[in-house]
Chains A and B, each alone.
Chain A
Amino acid sequence: MVATQILPFAMVILILFGLALDADSRTLRDLAPGLFWVATLFASVLAIQRSVAVETVSSTFEALRLSGAPAWKLFAGKALAVALQLLAIEAVLALGIIVLYRSSFEDPVLVVTAALAATVAIASAGSLYGVLAVGMGVRDTILPMLLLPIMMPVLVGATRAFGDGLGTAALDGWTWTGLLALLAVIYATVGALAYAVVIEDT
């Protein structure tokens, strides 16, 4: 699913941005951090929708509830699965912005650290809101509306951190990475605590 659907979708977004901005390499390079994370967020919505859909096809959500496993472990498993998919997508998107936008990684440690923190935040919030959307019964349309506003701080922080890491903006990327890490902790904690309640409404 990641290789055949989500990844091509993310790459198409990068290419469309490039076309829309008329392939001005200076502009694309400067905008690469934001474009990277917008593509990642759109891809994350697909990944999270898939993560939830796989549990509703054969009522495996109910089997998860029946298993007796603690809800926080179920949450951690779902979030980890989404995070791993997103990391794979981000790795390919990173190659994409290098090739398509002529980006360069001035501070790869900063870039990787920011990406990890942002990914944990996205996966945690997405795993919680994905189940919440199922409980509301209209998940395909409601999930982006629920998730994307929550992701705005992550988008801002990750774009700023990447701006420093890719050398396109004179910012303190590590401060923004610290914010991302804080968001990751908050979203993961809230998700682990709330999952037990939310999963009962699916």
Chain B
Amino acid sequence: MEYAVEVHDAVVLLDRFPALAGLSLRLRTGSVTLVQGPNGAGKTTLLRMLAGLAPLERGSAIVLGNDVVTQQRQVRASVGLLSPQTMLYDDLTIAENLSFWTTLAGYGDVDMGAALERVSMAPFADQQVVTLSTGQRRRAAIAVVAIRRPRLWLLDEPHAGLDQAGRDIVDGLIADAVAAGATVVVASHELDRVRPLATHVATVAGGVVHAFETVGDPGLTADDDAAGGADSA
């Protein structure tokens, strides 16, 4: 599969506001794309739409070969979304949350200990989420995403609330995901942190892609710029 994500003229409405206003984007499999832009540009809505959570009003979006409108379940089963909210139950422990979400998703045999070690949260496995700090909750949320080994990682401000060690963990997970063949999309304001990790940068404003550039990988050609940012053409 050459392109993990193919979005064409996508319109997503939040109430009646066009959060995505005809956005077009194509992302190659195995790429790391930084999605940057001002507040309210549509970055979070883009990630939610790719996860199958924000319905398309118009246009089309194919994620990992599945249509987000007609094959929603397949899309959701293949992606991992790291949201600004933790998506964890406060009254459960980290281990209980991991167990619940992996069982619900049908991942019977996962190494929760290794997943928690990866984010340096193993000592806190039996602590309720409500007792954790913001950064610790973030790490736990990252563990829930990572343990599923999604083929498309959708990370919304992944470094937010994390200390230096936590940020290094996120960077390591992104590198590991790409090495395993996954595609990563990172919406972030921390350009200095994420840009060195990225192979592409999409600049979003007003619900459309204004610029799409290839960075980092000298093996990629100018065709990638044309392929990725159709709005800017």
Contacts and interface: CB of A to CB of B under 8 A. Distances in A.
- Binding site secondary structure of chain B: loop
Contacts of A54: 89, 91
Interface in A41-78: 54, 57-60, 62-69
Contacts of B86: 58-59
B104 A60 contact: no
A67 B89 contact: no
Interface in A115-167: none
B105 A68 contact: yes
B88 interface: yes
Most buried by A among B77, B79, B104: B104
Contacts, number: 46
Nearest to B144: A63
Contacts of A66: 51-53, 76, 79, 81
Contacts of A65: 52-53, 76
Instruction: Sort chain B's interface into a size bin.
Output: 20 to 34
B84 to A, nearest CB: 9
Interface residues of A, number: 14
Contacts of B77: 68
A200 B69 CA distance: 12
A26 B90 CA distance: 47
A60 B89 contact: yes
A54 B104 CA distance: 17
A67 B85 contact: no
A35 to B, nearest CB: 32
B3 interface: no
Contact of B104 (A58, A62, A64, A200): A64
Contact of A58 (B55, B76, B87, B101): B87
B90 A68 contact: no
Nearest to A200: B55
B73 interface: yes
Contact of B83 (A57, A62, A67, A69): A62
A54 B81 CA distance: 20
B106 interface: yes
B115 to A, nearest CB: 16
A59 B73 contact: no
B101 to A, nearest CB: 7
Given A54-B89, A62-B85, A66-B52, 8 more contacts: A58-B85, A59-B85, A63-B87, A63-B101, A65-B53, A65-B76, A66-B51, A68-B77
Interface of B: 51-53, 55, 73, 76-77, 79, 81, 83, 85-91, 101, 104-106
